Amino acid sequence: METDLGPVIYDRATKIAILQGFFHDWTELFRLDQAFAGNPRWNFDAYYREVFRGPFYEILASLKNEAFRDEREYRLVYREDPTLFNGEPFTRAPKYFRMAGSLLVPYTTSRDLVGSRIDGYEASRPSSTLAIREVMVGPHPLAQSALAGVREFLDERGYRDTPAVASDVPFR
């Protein structure tokens, strides 16, 4: 679990420099680590998919369009790695969901971040579930994002075995 507070970056040249620096470093590490790819105990592809995902999302969360520069915003970025909670005396912060346009977006509250560190803290969960056999996500301009939001919502609410599928009908 990691929480960072930092200024939002609005300047286009600064955003480009930060992203170029990130990808330069990632590419250089990738090149240097390819020597280990032949080791059967080293899962090279999985490592590079996972280890850079969090920092990349953290960078993206700090970037915003120049038109909003007068806001002079700071963002608190919270990243939660579920593997960190195995055998630890605290639980994950509960996830809530809100509508953002026509997408389901997961979030957690800063109050719950404090609560997630307290031994024995338990998030409230529904005591029973409905007999949902499948969820069909209708046509959407951001179909994969909509599907991912519904999938995460179902998982968080105890419907891990309930399939969520995208509609075959194209969005017009």
Pick from 104, 164, 171: which is nearest to 143 by CA?
A: 171
Residue 137 sits at φ, ψ, to 5 deg, of -95, 120
Q: How confident is the model at residue 92 (pLDDT cuts 50, 70, 90)?
A: low
Share of residues in the chain with pLDDT > 70 (%): 67
Share of residues in the chain with pLDDT > 90 (%): 13
Q: Which of 40-49, 115-124, 133-142, 161-170 has the lowest mean pLDDT?
A: 115-124
Pick from 30, 6, 1: which is nearest to 18 by CA?
A: 6
Return mean pLDDT, the chain.
Answer: 76
